Amino acid sequence: MSSTTPKTLFEKIWDKHVVQYKEGYPDVLYIDRHFIHEVTSPQAFDGLRKRGIGVAKPKQTIATADHNVPTKNQHLPIQELLSRHQVDTLIQNCDEFGVELYGLGHEKQGIVHVIGPELGITLPGMTIVCGDSHTSTHGAFGSIAFGIGTSQVEQVLATQSILQYKPKTMRIEINGELGRGVVSKDIILFIISKISASGGTGYFVEYAGSAIESLSMEARMTICNMSIEMGARGGMIAPDQTTFDYIEGREFAPKGEAWEEAMAYWSTLKTDEGAQYDKVITFDAKDIEPWITYGTNPGMGIGISQEIPELAVNSTEKDMEKALGYMGLDKNQLLKGKKIDYVFIGSCTNSRIEDLRMVAEFVKGKKKANDVNVWIVPGSKKVEAQAIAEGLDKVFTEAGFDLRQPGCSACLAMNEDKVPEGKYCVSTSNRNFEGRQGPGSRTFLVSPLMAAAAAVTGEITDVREMI
Amino acid sequence: MNITSSAVPIKLDNVDTDQIIPARFLKATSREGFGDNLFRDWRYDKENQPIEGFVLNDSKYTGEILVAGKNFGCGSSREHAAWAIADYGFKVVVSSFFADIFKSNALNNFILPIQVSDAFLGYLFEAIEANPNLEINADLKTQILSVPSLGMSTNFEINPYKKECLLNGYDDIDYLLALKEVTQVYEQTHIYAGV
Ligand code: SF4
């Protein structure tokens, strides 16, 4: 390929990171930053020990404890023995292999996809991996970021590179202005229900268009975060002034001369005129309303004014029957007015300071419905501190919300934050799989605004009627 | 890898990794023992009693080949899903579509994911239902999946590199470690290396 061939943003970054290309073999891709956490790393460190090797580039690896940690009394030893063992194993491994750990109690601790960006570790043009599928979040900065399995965690620890086949590219364009009460979470839930939970498989997605460009960095992260929920390898957004303004001054962001150099590189990070994608899909922002899932995969979603369909895109009768049976719902049913039991505001999709501000602004002066439990879990210690500094904690407490300490919490219910069997939870997280929030739990995925509205009314509510 | 075995059918699309191995079983720090919790919540009720009707509890169905509906292994990147499948004793998973990360995790654990057409998968389900002892053959060398007694067969794709790894029993890390010097040369001029 000559240097004048127009390239997509994805191709530019990918090509720059290929250490070795060999016909018929996967590319050897260099990895700039590697995030690890307690759940998917222990077996990888074990592997290194068995091979008798160390971590190739310990300074390019950053660890935190998030999946398993309690969200109450984090200063006390973890009660649950297996969780404690996993967190302790991470501490030992990081110590033994010289990896920086922002563990429980550390002021930089938090959900791995929240802390990377907020510390300025995540930068445009990087390749970033983590043993967690929502690594796609970091793509909001114009980086190639994707989730990997534990064997691959071991690969990266051992060699700072990974074997990968180049995926196909897809461009998803959203143009126009978002309606009242519609936020970035609604955009991504909308996209996934249009193309289904497998519609992105094999592709790396670039989101573009005026509706995307108008979003803040945190809102962009919410979109890229859920790319995996349509099966895509990852999602990315070209960096622009919004991106640079967000990064400037963050702890690990380049400074002085290094900043100038970085900016010069970052300004080249956009798709060239005439570059080809394998697939292009365009949507109009005006078709997006507050969105909600009704089924057991994120592709089973509808606008709040719509009825549950006969069949979700790319789904079968049998799937639908099973999903609706599990959820205790029927075809052609409206969700509005459905009583709920829990509200969870948190997860790497929606637990950043803007999400908390959005919720606080809405609930200020209001109270949660009596029979609803509301958990609000900040994404990191920094988000928690900022929320307290802004007095958001008081707003939440006055509304009767249970403000907890940072971690993944009820997003995957590995700690004790579990939604009981059969109960309905309106959640800002990213997965509504059977049992995801606890065995037998039933999840409705929504935006933070829709979650806040449900918390106040105790039922599924169209937030537009309250603002 | 040349496996002849009866198969266990899971006739569902979009089987996600939260079903293959629910999150609460991810707390182990070794790779062993996950097979006991494979499909845990479909397999056992709250009292840990086997749920009648789920295929792993049905003694009619046994074997080293798992046959499942479209988009198998979607959802989380947890390699525990592949470990659970391997630990339970499956060596081959057949579906008409695999989620990306699952496929790569499977291959890294010497499980062969075989993608067939929707139509072939449909025949396979019917044939297994009609005869649970039906013998299926998966031959990596020739890249053919067949049901000899019915004269059914189909080719499957596998990347030549992965085929080589599976046939020779070596893995990605062995390959990458051999490229150490090439990587070091690359790092010397790379913007984000060397912090
Ligand atoms: S918040 Fe949920 S999705 Fe995000 S990293 Fe944690 S468990 Fe995964």
Give B131-177 as a DSSP string.
-TT--EEEETTTTEEEEGGGTEEEE----HHHHHHHHHT--HHHHHH
In a domain, A192, yes or no: no
pLDDT of A69 > 70? The answer is yes
What's residue B28's pLDDT? 84
How many domains are there within chain A? 2
The number of angstroms, rounded, from the C-alpha of A338 to the middle of its chain's C-alpha atoms is: 27
* Closest CA–CA distance from residue B170 to any residue of chain A (Å): 13
A420, B113, B156 from B73: Cα distances, Å:
25, 11, 18
Q: Would you say residue A201 lies in a domain? A: no
Assess whether pLDDT exceeds 60 at residue A2: no
pLDDT value, residue B23? 87
Counting beta carbons within 10 angstroms of the beta carbon of residue B157, is it exposed (0 to 12), middle (13 to 18) or buried (19 or more)? Answer: exposed
CA A416/CA B77 separation, integer angstroms: 22
Give the minimum alpha-carbon distance from A155 to chain B in angstroms, rounded to a whole number: 5
Q: What percent of chain B has pLDDT over 70?
A: 99
Locate the ligand 1 atom nearest the alpha carbon of residue A379 and give its number. 1
For chain A, the straight-line distance linking the first and the last C-alpha, in angstroms and rounded, comes to 53
Polymer length in residues for chain A:
467
Residues whose CB falls within 8 Å of the CB of residue B74, separated by 6 or more in sequence, listed in order: A197, A198, A231, A297, B14, B15, B16, B17, B99, B102
pLDDT in tens, A294-344: 999 999 999 999 999 999 999 999 999 999 999 999 999 999 999 999 999
Give pLDDT, residue A3.
59
Cβ–Cβ < 8 Å for A89, A42: yes
Instruction: Tell me, yes or no, whether A197 lies in a domain.
Output: no
Extract the tokens encoding A244.
């640079």
Sheet containing strand B112-115, strands side by side:
B7-10, B65-68, B92-95, B112-115
Instruction: Compare all CA atoms of chain A with the CA of B188 and give the residue at the minimum distance.
Output: A19
The answer to whether B184 touches A159, Cβ cutoff 8 Å, is no
pLDDT at B7: 98
pLDDT, residue B77, reads 79
Cβ atoms of A198 and B97 closer than 8 Å: yes
User: Within an 8 Å CB–CB cutoff, is residue B161 touching chain A?
Assistant: yes
The CATH number of residue A80's host domain is 3.30.499.10
* Min distance A148 CA to chain B CA atoms (Å): 6
Whether residue B47 lies within 8 A of chain A, CB to CB, comes out as no
A177 φ, ψ (degrees, to nearest 5): -105, 145
Is A366 within the bounds of a domain? yes
Q: Answer yes or no: are the C-beta atoms of A463 and A182 closer than 8 Å.
A: no
- What residue type is assigned to position A102 of the chain? Y
What gap in Å lies between CA A164 and CA A19, rounded to an integer?
Answer: 11
Tokens for B183, please give them: 């990587």
CA distance linking residue A193 with residue A374, whole number of Å: 26
Residue nearest to atom 2 of ligand 1 (CA): A411
**Residue A1 pLDDT greater than 60, yes or no:** no
Which residue range(s) make up the domain with A20?
A: 9-164
β-strands A27-30, A161-164: how paired? antiparallel
pLDDT digits over A368-427, tens only?
A: 999 999 999 999 999 999 999 999 999 999 999 999 999 999 999 999 999 999 999 999
- Ligand 1 atom nearest the C-alpha of A429 is 2
Of A135, A164, A193, which closes a domain? A164
For strands B136-139 and B2-5, give the pairing. Answer: antiparallel
- Atom number of ligand 1 nearest to Cα A351: 1
Indicate whether A74 belongs to any domain: yes
Cβ of A436 below 6 Å from ligand 1: no
* Structure confidence at residue B169 as a pLDDT band (50, 70, 90): confident
B181-185, long-range: CB < 8 A, 24+ apart: B182/A19, B182/A20, B182/A28, B183/A19, B183/A28, B183/A30, B183/A159, B183/A160, B183/A161
Q: How many CB atoms lie within 10 A of CB A409?
A: 32
Mean pLDDT, chain A, integer:
96
How far apart CA A139 and CA A276 sit, in angstroms, is 20
Residue numbers in A near B190 (CB within 8 A) = 30
Give A6-29 pLDDT, tens digit per residue.
999 999 999 999 999 998 899 999
Q: Residue A135 pLDDT more than 70?
A: yes
Q: Ligand 1 within 6 A of A111 CB? A: yes
Tell me the average pLDDT across A356-369: 98
Residue A141 · residue A238 · CB < 8 Å = no
Task: Look up the pTM and report it.
Answer: 0.91
Find the closest chain A residue to B73 by CA distance: A231
**Maximum Cα interatomic distance, chain A, rounded to a whole number of Å:** 65
Question: Are B173 and A40 in contact (CB < 8 Å)?
Answer: no
Domain contains A300: no
Rounded to the nearest angstrom, the gap between the alpha carbon of residue A284 and the centroid of all alpha carbons in its chain is 23
DSSP characters over chain B = -EEEE-EEEE--S--BHHHHS-GGGTT-SSSTTGGGGTTHHHHB-TTSPBPTT-GGG-TT--SSEEEE-SSBTBS---THHHHHHHHHT--EEEES-B-HHHHHHHHHTT-EEEE--HHHHHHHHHHHHH-TT--EEEETTTTEEEEGGGTEEEE----HHHHHHHHHT--HHHHHHTTHHHHHHHHHT-TT---
Supply the residue whose CA is at minimum distance from atom 6 of ligand 1: A408
Return the amino acid letter for B138: A
- For the sheet with B152-155, list strands across it: B2-5, B136-139, B144-147, B152-155
Q: Which single residue is written with the structure tokens 């939870």?
A: A425
Measure A285 CA to nearest chain B CA, in Å.
27
Q: Are A382 and A404 in contact (CB under 8 A)?
A: no
To test ligand 1's pocket by mutation, which of A66, A138, A185, A355 has the most ligand atoms within 8 angstroms of CB?
Answer: A66
d(CA A467, CA A172) in angstroms, rounded, equals 30
Cross-chain Cβ contact B12/A32 below 8 Å: no
Pinpoint the alpha helices (H) of A328-457: 353-363, 381-389, 392-399, 448-457
- What confidence tens digit (pLDDT) does each residue in B26-53 have? 888 888 889 999 999 999 999 999 999 9
Sheet holding A234-236: strands in order across? Answer: A234-236, A203-208, A168-175, A279-284
Residue A293 falls within a domain, yes or no? no
Between CA A134 and CA A137 the distance in angstroms is 6
Q: Indicate whether B101 pLDDT > 90.
A: no
Q: How far apart are the first and last CA of chain B?
A: 43
Cα separation values, A213 from A47, A184, A230, A315, Å: 43, 11, 21, 32
Q: How far is the CA of A277 from the centre of ligand 1 (A)?
A: 30
Q: Which of A109, A129, A164 is the last residue of a domain?
A: A164
B176 with A20: Cβ contact below 8 A: no
Instruction: State residue B26's pLDDT score.
Output: 86
Report whether pLDDT(A64) > 70. yes
* Residue A355 CB less than 6 A away from ligand 1: no
| Domain end marker among A120, A148, A164 | A164
Dihedral of CA atoms A189, A190, A195, A200 in degrees, nearest 10, equals -40
Per-residue pLDDT band for B171 (boundaries 50, 70, 90) equals: confident
Nearest to A62 by CA among A7, A128, A3, A6: A128
Percent of chain A with pLDDT over 70: 99
Half-sphere exposure at residue B38, Cβ-oriented, CA atoms within 13 angstroms: 23
Largest CA distance in chain B: 62
Average pLDDT over residues A150-173: 96
Q: Is residue A177 part of a domain?
A: no
